[in-house]
Amino acid sequence: MSDFESIYQQYGKTVYFFLLSLTQNESLSEELTQETMCRAIMNIGAFCGESKMSVWLCQIAKNLYFEWQKKNKRNVPIEDALLAEPDGLDIEEELTRKETAHRILKHLHTLDDPYKEVFMLHALGDVPLKQISQLFGKSDSWARVTYYRAKAIITERLEGEE
């Protein structure tokens, strides 16, 4: 197995889900994951080992996403990725969950950065707070506080709707 295959197998899903949390588009996330891996292999000499490989790859992915966003100058809808239906649930229960998810997404988009990005990475992308802190070049406590502040703002806004 080549180094490229090894890196892709070990970190491909992490990069993909990180990008999915940003783009909310499966095909775009797949495309950007491929581009991330290609750039990483071409620039592997730039990886100095000061952070985890996954953090370095997510930073490349984040930069690629921002490049794509700048080039396309539009926002990608996120409802499709978050509202996928699991099998075997009661229809009424599922409708309630979809409605709640939609309300959360509505408030998420009104957050300023870095709150929006940290919340999306951790809550939607399952990226650990420690890795988020490394992505932003901040402390672990910064990532934790930023996430909980974003969560509190969304919770407060949701309660204000009721």
pLDDT digits (tens, 9 = 90+) for 49-85: 677 888 888 888 888 888 888 887 654 454 444 444 4
What tens digit of pLDDT does each residue of 98-150 get? 777 777 778 878 888 888 888 888 877 778 888 888 888 888 889 889 888 88
| Residue 18 CB neighbours (<10 A) | 31
Cα(34)–Cα(37) distance, integer angstroms = 5
pTM over cut 0.75: no
| Choice between 26 and 77, residue whose per-residue pLDDT is larger | 26
Mean pLDDT of the chain: 77
